[in-house]
Structures are given as structure tokens and as C-alpha cells.
Structure 1
Amino acid sequence: METNEILRNQIFEIIKNQLKHNNPPETKITLDRLRAQGFNDSQARQMIGQCISVEIYQIMKTNEPYNNARYIENLQKLPKEPFE
């Protein structure tokens, strides 16, 4: 299994857990909103995964803790790609 596939699977596992535990609730709200906008489940989860990737990148780059407010803000901006 390639590294990118492992990371992708881990990101989708994070999304699955967020939805299962409704934590943060904005993940489910975003998934439902994107589906209502015409995106299929896979597309919506990929977009949510981009927001998770931004958080992982920021943690690794700056050694700062996870920023839930930034994550939620990026979710709310979808389908616009998160860059911050």
C-alpha cells in the first residue's frame, strides 16, 4: 500500500469517526449541505478531507495544536477549496 493511499484512508477514517460521534457537528452539517448542492457522497467526503488535510499540514508545519475553529471555518466555506 502506498503512503498516499494510507494517508487517504486515515483521513476518511477521521471523517467516519466525526460523523459517527457527531463531533464536530459541522462535519455532518457540511456533508448534508454539499449533498443538497448536488455533490455525491464521495465528492463531499473528499472536500471535507481537504479541510482535515489543511489541519494536518498546519500542525506539522507550525507545531501548533489542532485548531477546531479554523477547521469549522474551512468546512463552512466548502465547496471553495480550503487554503488556510
Structure 2
Amino acid sequence: MTDGDPKKAGETILEVVDNQINANDPPLVKETFNRLRKLGISRRESKKYIACALSVEIFDVVKNSNEIDYDRYFTNLQNLPEMPWDDE
């Protein structure tokens, strides 16, 4: 992901989401995926929504050298399909 290719970065984040869903770790990711699917959102779009919530955390870690804020990540997952930045 260090080559600056946005497409590769997006694919990598979606791969992380897939891994979280398949491992059920954290469980809220799989719960969110299933909830979004029940709302009629496609598999791919559901994963993209989750990737958006995860991207907020990755951006904060990279930009501010912080650790992942799991409370914020979980809150953003629970609020999907509303995007984390919709209230800004």
C-alpha cells in the first residue's frame, strides 16, 4: 500500500473487511454485514460501507500516529449505512 495506488489501497481494505467477517473478529463486523444485507444492500456494497468505517480508523492511525479507536469504529459500524462523516 506504500506505492500510493488508491485502487490497491481500497482492495486491501476490502480484504481486511473480508478477513474480519470470515474470522468473526471483531464480531460486530459480521453482525453489521448481516444487518446491512437484511436491509437489501448488496454483499459488495455492504463490505464497502464497513470499509468506510474502517478507513476512518486507518486514516487516524496514519495521520496522527494514534491507535485504532475501537469505540469509534464500533459506533460507526452500528450507525451504518449512515456514513461516519454525514454529521460533519
TM-score normalised to structure 1 length: 0.91
Matched-pair contact (CA < 8 Å) for 2:18–2:47: no
C-alpha distance in 2 between matches for 1:9 and 1:78: 20
C-alpha distance in 2 between matches for 1:26 and 1:5: 26
Q: How many residues align?
A: 84
Residues 16-55 of structure 1 show CA distances to partners (whole Å, capped at 9, x for unaligned) of 1101211110000000000111101011011001011100
2:55 corresponds to: 53
Q: Which runs of 5+ in 2 are unaligned?
A: none
RMSD: 1.8
Q: Is 1:18 aligned with 2:20?
A: yes
Higher RCO (C-alpha 8 Å, min separation 6): 1
C-alpha distance in 2 between matches for 1:29 and 1:13: 17
Match for residue 76 of structure 1 among 75, 78, 83:
78
C-alpha distance in 2 between matches for 1:49 and 1:68: 14
Post-superposition shift, 1:67? 1.3
TM-score normalised to structure 2 length: 0.88
Q: Which residue identity lines up with residue 12 of structure 2 in the other structure?
A: Q
C-alpha distance in 1 between matches for 2:71 and 2:23: 18
Q: Which runs of 5+ in 1 are unaligned?
A: none
C-alpha distance in 2 between matches for 1:13 and 1:36: 22
